[in-house]
Amino acid sequence: MTKKKSSAEGEKSFASLKTKGRKDRQEHIINAAERVFASKPFDQVSIRDIAREAGISHASIYRYFPDQQTLFVEAFIRGGEKIIRFIGEMIEDDDSVTIEKVTDKFINFLVEDDQYFRMMTHFMLDGSLGADLIERLNATERLLLDQLDRLFVKLDVRGDKRMLSHAFFAAMNGVLITFRNYPGRSKEDVALHMKKVGRIIARKFKA
């Protein structure tokens, strides 16, 4: 298990980035935000929590991110980029790729990295984001849908590829929302159940 960084270690790490670029320091803060998101409910995370984890003052964060929502969106986009990347790699590298395989990987990722799913549902329901942040989220979603389009093209699935991608994305999110807190089940049992349901849905896309 990876040892959680202390604030002193975070401060030392951040100080070591002083000779590097602004982007490196932003990445350090996002790394800290992700660790905090993984340890407590998303809506209870504050800039002070993230600053403490990063080993810097909360005022310093505002030198790199104009507000809390911008930092949260950037942290979520990193998760979106991971999903986009692994779906792209499956399409490129796996000649036997199937919708079921992508379904398993998609569900497994959002179970193991639950903070990204919690952020995603928060942003889907939050109407307070500014237009520029909404466009950042929409741009990431479009890239994800582009990869799903490629999957349906590769598998020669009939129908409007973009609509299929929308339907698949909505269905997988529905599975996660419905069953992620399944009462009386272990995390492993819940993940297995969601994958079984997801595979049933995935097979419908081949009809």
Nearest CA among 74, 70, 33, 26 for reference residue 50:
33
* Domain co-membership, 110 together with 188: yes
**Does the residue 2 lie in any domain?**
no
pTM over the 0.85 mark? no
* Domain co-membership, 109 together with 26: no
What per-residue confidence (pLDDT) applies to 110? 92
Report the distance separating Cα 206 and Cα 196, nearest Å: 16
Q: Residue 21 belongs to what domain range? A: 7-61
**Does the residue 107 lie in any domain?**
yes
User: The domain spanning residue 27 has which CATH number?
Assistant: 1.10.10.60
What per-residue confidence (pLDDT) applies to 15? 56
* Domain co-membership, 122 together with 179: yes
Reading the chain (207 residues) residue by residue, the pLDDT tens digits are 444 455 445 555 555 555 567 788 899 999 999 899 888 877 788 899 999 999 999 898 999 998 888 998 998 899 899 999 999 999 999 889 999 999 999 999 999 988 888 888 888 777 778 889 899 999 999 999 999 999 999 999 999 999 999 999 999 999 999 998 888 899 899 999 999 999 999 999 986
* Domain co-membership, 54 together with 75: no
**Does the residue 1 lie in any domain?**
no
User: The domain spanning residue 99 has which CATH number?
Assistant: 1.10.357.10
Q: Where do we find the tokens 């930092």?
A: 71
What per-residue confidence (pLDDT) applies to 119? 85
Upper half-sphere CA count for residue 181 (Cβ side, 13 Å)? 3
Structural domain count of the chain: 2
What per-residue confidence (pLDDT) applies to 1? 40
Cα separation values, 148 from 47, 73, 158, 177, 196, Å: 34, 22, 14, 20, 20
